Chains A and B, each alone.
Chain A
Amino acid sequence: MKKSYLLLLILLSFNLSAFASGTNEIDSGATAWMIMSTALVLLMIPGLAMFYGGLVRSKNVLGTMMHSFVAMGVMSLLWVVVGYSMCFGENTLGGWIGWNSDYLFLNGIDESIMEGGIPELVFAMFQGKFAIITPALIAGAFAERVSFKGYVLFIILWGIFVYNPLCHWVWAEDGFLYNLGPMGAIDYAGGTVVHISAGISGLVAAIYLGKRRGYPNHHLRPNNLVMTLMGAGLLWVGWFGFNAGSSISSGLGTAQALTATQVAAAAGAVSWIIIESFHHGKATALGFVSGVLAGLVSVTPAAGVVQPIGAIALGILATMVCYLAVILKDKLGYDDSLDAFGIHGMGAIVGALALSFFIRDSWMTEAALANGGTWSSFQQLGIQAAAVGIAIVYAAAGSLIIIFIVEKTVGFKAKPCDELDGLDYAYHGERGYGMLTPN
């Protein structure tokens, strides 16, 4: 009897002390998966470099790949200095950005462990990868015609004034889009924050900076589709970190996001080559990977809330819209060189809106409860449309101002002689290849 009392006492005091110290225990499973996801998202950036690098002419291959690589350097530093604070600090300036001076240089989170048992540093690094890949995505819209200096200044300003506020609104717990409607605007892994903002900003930049020399009269051919396919493969693999990692845990939600991601990518790819087969009679490799991307982009906002059948629907829908967007681009005559808007912008808009009709029942029940009775797909569509609209308007306006400033200060558009020389030689003094094709 005495013994059991003693045991109870020990257990109680143990629990109390754990409670009193107020720190969370590390969940090694969740932490391991989040570290893995962080690395997977980082892998997407060289993947993107290869994807874009293969699509340009051989004289621009290094310059184009450097757009992705330099983002890994510049945006990583920027993220540590102010990015994390601006995104995940408390509402400041009327909620425009977040701010927490403890987060500067990640000083204050050295030992903090989040509720899910994950060190906050891992979360900060995971989120930092998104801040790298987003400006790198934009580079596809103005490939082959911007100066390196102008590009670097552009991604710095864009990261601070466009990405960070958007990220705060959508993902910080006190962000206003996070709290829109009973359960918030749904953006699981970055449909609005990453893909819509990058796609729209790319479109604005492509129109503002003008066309490449020779577009659209000359066909500016990809120098290496093999590299593009390898890059697309890396992107698909890395996307599991992007989407499934966005559960910030390792559990059921992770599994659901992982499944939706795989299924949507496959549906997008297969539908692209089917459409193409009917339209042109041939299934192209570039078409297949374009479909992969369209599917992945469309399921990015939705990965947490749709079941496989919904993911398939989103993949197919996104591919149909992106296919039209790519055709329409040539009709309208703006030079979105590598279809940053056509695939990322349009795919994500379709995903973020259409996901409203494929949300799993348990989520809708929860939303109905939170709303005090009922919540319909159309009501959620309204919330989604608001978030998409805000992202479009904010990214377009912010980008326009930034592009204007960059163009007037260091110069954004490449000088005609530099464009003819190719970005590789003009800005980096190097050549990507030996001399393979006279293109």
Chain B
Amino acid sequence: MKLIIAIIRSNKLDQVRESLVKKGIERITVSRVAGHGRHTKTELYRGKLVVPGLTPKMRIEIAVNDDFVESTVAAILESASGGGDGIIGDGKIFITPLDDCIRIRTGERGSDAI
């Protein structure tokens, strides 16, 4: 079992969700986050150009069984890029091992609970 954490552009959330659902991955958690990257796009505030200190992003967490890892990653890669124009800020995907998973309602553990 793996935990996949993807940090993506806020405006890509709809496409990423649709792409994941298309590949049969429907159990996800989404939160708004902010952070630093190499992203230095300027924004206009009161007539001044400023580089925002923290850029808003979306964070998606997906717990999957091992055989779903590649299709999940492929789904995110297909849908989350800014159109292939090479502008910084498309985000990152992190994959970590997942020790266990428990469904609270039934108490099931492991792969079955995912």
Give B14 Cβ to nearest chain A Cβ, in Å.
6
Q: How far is the CA of A420 from the CA of B58 in the complex (A)?
A: 14
Q: Are B30 and A438 in contact (CB under 8 A)?
A: yes
Q: Which residues of B contact A59 (CB under 8 A)?
A: 10
Q: Is B96 an interface residue (CB 8 A)?
A: no
Number of interface residues, chain A, beta carbon within 8 A: 15
Q: Are A438 and B43 in contact (CB under 8 A)?
A: no
The chain B residue sitting closest to A421, CB to CB, is B11
Q: Is B77 an interface residue (CB 8 A)?
A: no
| Most B C-beta atoms less than 10 A away, residue of A422, A437, A438 | A438
Q: Is A429 an interface residue (CB 8 A)?
A: yes
Q: How far is the CA of A429 from the CA of B49 in the complex (A)?
A: 11
> What residues make up the interface of A, taking CB atoms closer than 8 Å to B?
59, 213-214, 417, 420-422, 425, 429-431, 435-438
| Most B C-beta atoms less than 10 A away, residue of A214, A420, A421 | A420
Q: Which residues of B contact A420 (CB under 8 A)?
A: 11-12, 14-15
Q: Are B32 and A429 in contact (CB under 8 A)?
A: no
Name A438's contact: one of B12, B34, B58 (CB within 8 Å). B58
Q: Which residues of A contact B31 (CB under 8 A)?
A: 438
Q: Which residues of A contact B87 (CB under 8 A)?
A: none
Number of A-B residue pairs having CB atoms within 8 Å of each other in the complex:
27
Residue interface bits B23-35, CB-to-A below 8 A is 1, else 0: 0000000111110
Q: Are A422 and B11 in contact (CB under 8 A)?
A: yes
Q: Is B13 an interface residue (CB 8 A)?
A: yes
The chain B residue sitting closest to A428, CB to CB, is B44
Residue interface bits B4-46, CB-to-A below 8 A is 1, else 0: 0000001111110000000000000011111000000001110
Q: Which residues of B contact A431 (CB under 8 A)?
A: 56
Q: Are B43 and A429 in contact (CB under 8 A)?
A: yes
Give A241 Cβ to nearest chain B Cβ, in Å.
34
Q: Which residues of B contact A429 (CB under 8 A)?
A: 43-45
Give B17 Cβ to nearest chain A Cβ, in Å.
9
The chain B residue sitting closest to A217, CB to CB, is B18
Chain A interface, >50% SS class: loop
- CB-CB nearest 8 A-B residue pairs: A435-B32, A429-B44, A420-B11, A421-B11, A438-B30, A438-B32, A435-B56, A438-B31
The chain A residue sitting closest to B30, CB to CB, is A438
Given contact pairs A213-B14, A421-B11, A435-B32, a sample of 11 additional A-B residue pairs in the complex whose CB atoms are under 8 Å apart: A59-B10, A214-B14, A420-B12, A420-B14, A420-B15, A422-B11, A425-B11, A429-B43, A435-B33, A437-B32, A438-B32
Q: How far is the CA of A438 from the CA of B34 in the complex (A)?
A: 12
Q: Which residues of A contact B13 (CB under 8 A)?
A: 438
Give A223 Cβ to nearest chain B Cβ, in Å.
13
Give A215 Cβ to nearest chain B Cβ, in Å.
12
Give B77 Cβ to nearest chain A Cβ, in Å.
18
| Most A C-beta atoms less than 10 A away, residue of B11, B31, B43, B58 | B11
Q: Sample 27 A-B pairs with CB under 8 A, ordered by A number.
A: A59-B10, A213-B14, A214-B14, A417-B11, A420-B11, A420-B12, A420-B14, A420-B15, A421-B11, A422-B11, A425-B11, A429-B43, A429-B44, A429-B45, A430-B45, A431-B56, A435-B32, A435-B33, A435-B34, A435-B56, A436-B32, A437-B32, A438-B13, A438-B30, A438-B31, A438-B32, A438-B58
Q: Which residues of B contact A425 (CB under 8 A)?
A: 11
| Most A C-beta atoms less than 10 A away, residue of B10, B34, B43 | B10
Q: How far is the CA of A436 from the CA of B44 in the complex (A)?
A: 22
Q: Which residues of B contact A438 (CB under 8 A)?
A: 13, 30-32, 58
The chain B residue sitting closest to A436, CB to CB, is B32
Q: How far is the CA of A332 from the CA of B11 in the complex (A)?
A: 29
Give A153 Cβ to nearest chain B Cβ, in Å.
23
Q: Which residues of A contact B58 (CB under 8 A)?
A: 438
Give A423 Cβ to nearest chain B Cβ, in Å.
12
Q: Which residues of B contact A417 (CB under 8 A)?
A: 11
Q: Which residues of B contact A430 (CB under 8 A)?
A: 45
Q: How far is the CA of A343 from the CA of B11 in the complex (A)?
A: 31
Q: Which residues of B contact A421 (CB under 8 A)?
A: 11
Give B4 Cβ to nearest chain A Cβ, in Å.
17
Q: Which residues of B contact A213 (CB under 8 A)?
A: 14
Give A402 Cβ to nearest chain B Cβ, in Å.
30
Q: Which residues of A contact B34 (CB under 8 A)?
A: 435
Q: How far is the CA of A356 from the CA of B111 in the complex (A)?
A: 69
Give A424 Cβ to nearest chain B Cβ, in Å.
11
Give A418 Cβ to nearest chain B Cβ, in Å.
9
